[in-house]
Structure 1
Amino acid sequence: MHVRHCIISAPGKAILHGEHAVVHGKVALAVSLNLRTYLELKATSTGKVSIDLPNIDTFLSWDLSDLQPLVSESFDEAQRLDPELLGRLREFVGVTNGNLDTRSMATLAFLYIYLSLFGSGELPGLSVCVWSELPTGAGLGSSAAYSVCLAAGLLTASGAIPAPLRDPSAPARWGQEDMELINSWAFQGERIIHGNPSGVDNAVGTWGGMLRFLSGKIIPLSRVPLLRILLTNTKVPRSTKLLVAGVKDKLTKFPSVINPVLDSVDAISCTCEKTLAEMTSEPITGEHYNVLEELIDINQSQLCVLGVGHPSLDTLCRVTLTHGLHSKLTGAGGGGCGITLLRPETDAAVVRDTVRDLQACGYDCWETSIGGPGVQQHGAPSVREDILERLGPR
């Protein structure tokens, strides 16, 4: 064990613009959410490895002697899954094709990365606890933030990457090469959980800020402003697969109608990217926020044309507009979550009243920000206590 104790966090994600159009070769902008997942890893001498996931009421522990036979030889390839190890783990955990629940997938991802990184030698005793500010199943990248934390924590503990140099009182980040390795292993965790992910969620969790996604190519944008938002979960369940299929069906039936809409969504993403770049290179003005608000309104209308709106999202937009705020869905639509832009001058009373009205609709609502840092390691005891106090009992 190269590191015997560490605390790591990674952000969730939201799509700012480009939902659904990205499936058809258009630009999407993904941004980090300042709602984070935290991992605490400790080396133990108990002869066991355990994982505690309080958000989903799960605590599991295994004897190292039971895990050691699962790895017949070292496999530390971050670019592809080891199907034999994954198969043995699925049998060990008792996961079948009809039992793909959150607990099982989280367990598989943890054990896979743990055994891949430590399986070449004697397995170390570990106690791992992961807890989150992110709701699960809401399209906010909770599983990716989990996978990024696992990858960063286990890579650091195994010595595959060094602990980052830092000021003891502040979070620290790794260098580019180490971040790429974290992202690669996090992507394997996402593949175990989701099957065929795009890689956007784990990339946002790793690098933070904003990413430009186009035709499978992910480009982190080096400088973006930190924007305040309200994040609202309508708690209306939706099927991403069905919503994506619905857009494809519309495109097949009405190509001359839908193709221009997709081109317009692409233009929204590119215009937003240009505006945000201006906000980092020149003084931010009210006009910048006017443009961002107009783009939000137009994009929400476009998404409704594509058939991925929902009455709950219409309510969100109507309620926030009564307070002078502009909202759009984020992610698959059909319910799920929405984001509301807050201007720098937005009064705290306006935010408070808006949250109250949204909660009266039965929604969950958080004031947070987008564009913040990616995966970090926290070190000082005071930082740890601040995190635990903010998140409450685990």
Structure 2
Amino acid sequence: MSTPFFVSAPGKVIIFGEHSAVYGKPAIAAALSLRAYLLVTPSQDPDTINLSFPDINLTHSWNKNDIPWDSIVKHINLVDNLPQTSEELVPEIVDQLGSVLADLNSSLHYTACLCFLYLYTHLCNQELAGMSFCIRSTLPIGAGLGSSASTAVCLASALAILGNRVTSASFLQTDKILKKENNDLDFIDSWSLMGEKCFHGNPSGIDNAVATHGGAVMFQRMNNPAQPSVRTSMRNFPAIKLLLTNTKVPRSTADLVGGVGKLNVEYPKTSNSILEAMEHLSNTAYQIMVRPFFGAEERKKLRELVNINHGLLVALGVSHPSLEKVKIITDTSKLGSTKLTGAGGGGCAITLVDEDVSEADIAQGIAELEKEGYECFETSLGGKGVGSLSFEDVPQELRSTVFSPEKFCAYSDRIEIEKVLSTNALEGWRYW
């Protein structure tokens, strides 16, 4: 493919079941309308591969002939001409890639480039002409919203397109997905998980599943290591207006999980009752979310469950004064139902906004939250997963602006990116 194209994938939030998931209970994560975008354009030099990620100040280039293809290819397992994923990163391939990553002196840049080259060498080949890749994210990075997974999904889908590993995306934003099986999405999902392993070592696979499939996913990690985790996709879960508040308070997920573990040891009956209540809550939410005619009554019930879930998390000791302040402000402003999301102890809170709340009331609530030093995002929950935007599907008069690498890499913030590239701005986006 010699014409430019975009791919995009959403971030995620956990809406039900944080912490209880550690104990084998189900939890539910849903896609955000905040997304990562990747622009792919032909390089001026056909032997040069360029990667830029302005949000982390990364710009790097490789001569494609410097990649030790012969040493890498012999470790790639092909079935029906498709590369197969593995349980772990193949150490021999990581070692071979070390020779072209040696000049990187930032661990973050090294990890991002390893993810890119690991996927590139599996999904593309030496004959592919050099391309330029520019990644931008409208997600806060490092806030527990799946920014690395959305990046990995963008890379996996773009490289799968270049390597002719998947068919073209064809569904519109408004289309309901009726079929259960989708080989292209499963392929992107599995390879984005390999990308996530470059970032996180042993990820759960939930973040990239949501970023790939969109909608929402219920997941349950079995306590028995011999049993695989269970993932149930809800691809048609409709978009719900959401206010996301980043308190910017740092937290340690390990410490918070450890604190719940200690509580579970000291007060097992009480703690188990809370965890079981969270299990029932997640199962109830799932039954509501898969209803074919999801409307006002279902949204009302989800908001009620959000309030209950926050109370249960408070009982487990994982809230924080900053999160409680968010809840007080949003409750007092009557914006909707608020809970912490993720590990807690700081980080982010989500508010499922009531239908009858005006934009003026939302703006006033955001102003109060920003006075506290918090960062707010008006976004939505649910919606489509990974998608692509081809050169031909954009009106001719917009192509030079939309597909300009210089303009795309220079956008100053997420608002500029979304103004040009969101599905509201362009109707040409297609989904698998």
Which segment drifts farther, 306-315 or 41-50? 41-50
Q: 1:164 to 1:333 in 2, by over 3 A?
A: same
User: Where does residue 143 of structure 1 map in the other structure?
Assistant: 148
Change over 3 Å in CA distance of 1:69–1:152 after alignment to 2: closer
Alignment of 1:35-46 (within 5 A): 35-46=34-45
* 1:110 match: 116
Q: CA 1:69–1:154 in 2, change beyond 3 Å: closer, same or farther?
A: closer
Q: 1:180-225, CA deviations, whole angstroms, 9 ceiling, x for partnerless residues?
A: 0000100000011001100000000000001010122111024323
Give, in angstroms, the shift of residue 297 of structure 1: 1.6
* CA deviation vs aligned residue, 1:332-377 (integer Å, no higher than 9, x gap): 1111111001122111111011110111110110111011100001
1:378 is displaced (CA, Å) by 1.1
Write the letter of the residue equivalent to 2:143: A
Secondary structure at the aligned position of 2:306 is classed as helix
Q: How has the CA–CA distance of structure 1 residues 363 and 66 changed in structure 2, closer, same or farther, with 3 Å as cutoff?
A: same
Over 3 Å counting, the alpha-carbon distance change for 1:256 and 1:91 in structure 2 is: farther
1:153 corresponds to which of 133, 153, 158: 158
Candidates 59, 77, 98, aligned match of 2:84: 77
For 1:246, the aligned partner's letter is G
Answer whether contact 1:3 1:156 (CA < 8 A) is retained: no
Which moved further from structure 2: 337-346 or 59-68?
59-68
Question: Does the 8 Å contact 1:15/1:30 carry over to 2?
Answer: yes
Q: Secondary structure at the match of 2:198?
A: helix
The alignment partner of 1:62 has SS state of strand
Change in Cα spacing, 1:253 to 1:353, as seen in structure 2 (3 Å) is same
Q: How does 1:235-384 map to 2 (within 5 A)?
A: 235-278=248-291, 280-281=292-293, 284-285=295-296, 287-324=297-334, 325-379=336-390, 380-382=393-395
Cα deviation 1:97-155 (Å, max 9, x = unaligned): xx883322111100110112234x43531100110100110000000000000000000
Q: Distance in 1 between matches of 2:30 and 2:118?
A: 28
Distance 1:166 1:220 in 2: 17
Shift in Å, 1:3? 5.5
Q: Could you say what secondary structure the match of 1:392 adopts?
A: helix
Q: What TM-score comes out, normalization by structure 2 length? A: 0.83
Q: CA separation in 2, counterparts of 1:39 and 1:172?
A: 25
Q: Is the 8 A contact 1:327 1:338 kept in 2?
A: yes
Q: How does 1:4-153 map to 2 (within 5 A)?
A: 4-46=3-45, 47-68=47-68, 71-74=71-74, 75=76, 76-80=83-87, 81-90=89-98, 92-94=100-102, 101-119=107-125, 121-122=126-127, 124-153=129-158
Write the letter of the residue equivalent to 2:187.
L
Partner Cα separation in structure 1 for residue 231 and residue 49 of structure 2? 35
- Structure 1 residues 170 and 50, CA, compared in 2 at 3 Å: closer, same or farther? farther
Answer yes or no: is the 8 Å Cα contact 1:15–1:28 preserved in 2: yes
**Residues 171 and 79 (structure 1 numbering): CA distance in 2 closer, same or farther, change over 3 Å?**
farther
1:223 pairs, out of 236, 240, 254, with 236
Instruction: Spell out, residue by residue over 1:56-87, the C-alpha distance to the aligned partner (whole angstroms, 9 max, x if none).
Output: 11111112232245744252322342211112
2:248 counterpart SS class? coil
2-structure distance, mates of 1:20, 1:45: 49
Residue matched to 1:197? 203
Q: CA deviation at 1:331?
A: 0.9
Instruction: Work out whether residues 247 and 346 of structure 2, in 8 Å CA contact, stay in contact via their aligned partners in 1.
Output: yes
Change (3 A) 1:252 1:87: farther
Taking the aligned partners of 2:41 and 2:176, their CA distance within structure 1 comes to: 18
Q: Report the CA distance between 1:277 and its aligned residue.
A: 3.3
| Aligned mates of 1:71, 1:127 — CA distance in 2 | 24
Query: Whole-Å Cα distance in 1 between the matches of residues 293 and 175 of structure 2?
Result: 26
Q: Give the aligned length.
A: 386
Equivalent residue of 2:355, what SS? coil
How far apart are the structure 1 equivalents of 2:12 and 2:169? 23
Secondary structure at the aligned position of 2:250 is classed as coil
Q: Does the CA-based 8 Å contact 1:231-1:368 persist in structure 2?
A: yes
Cα RMSD after superposing both structures:
2.7
CA distance, structure 2, for counterparts of residue 358 and residue 45 of structure 1: 46
Instruction: Determine the C-alpha separation between the residues in 1 that align with 2:174 and 2:240.
Output: 22
Q: Distance in 2 between matches of 1:364 and 1:71?
A: 47
In 1, Cα distance between equivalents of 2:205 and 2:48? 32
Kept in 1: contact 2:43–2:131 (CA 8 A): yes
Distance verdict in 2 for CA 1:264–1:115, change over 3 Å: same
Gap change, CA 1:188 and 1:171, over 3 Å in 2: farther
2:193 matched residue in structure 1 = 187
> Aligned to 1:39, what secondary structure does the other structure show?
strand
TM-score (norm 1): 0.90
SS for the counterpart of 1:197 is: coil
Partner Cα separation in structure 1 for residue 415 and residue 102 of structure 2: 32
Specify the alignment match of 2:427 in structure 1: none
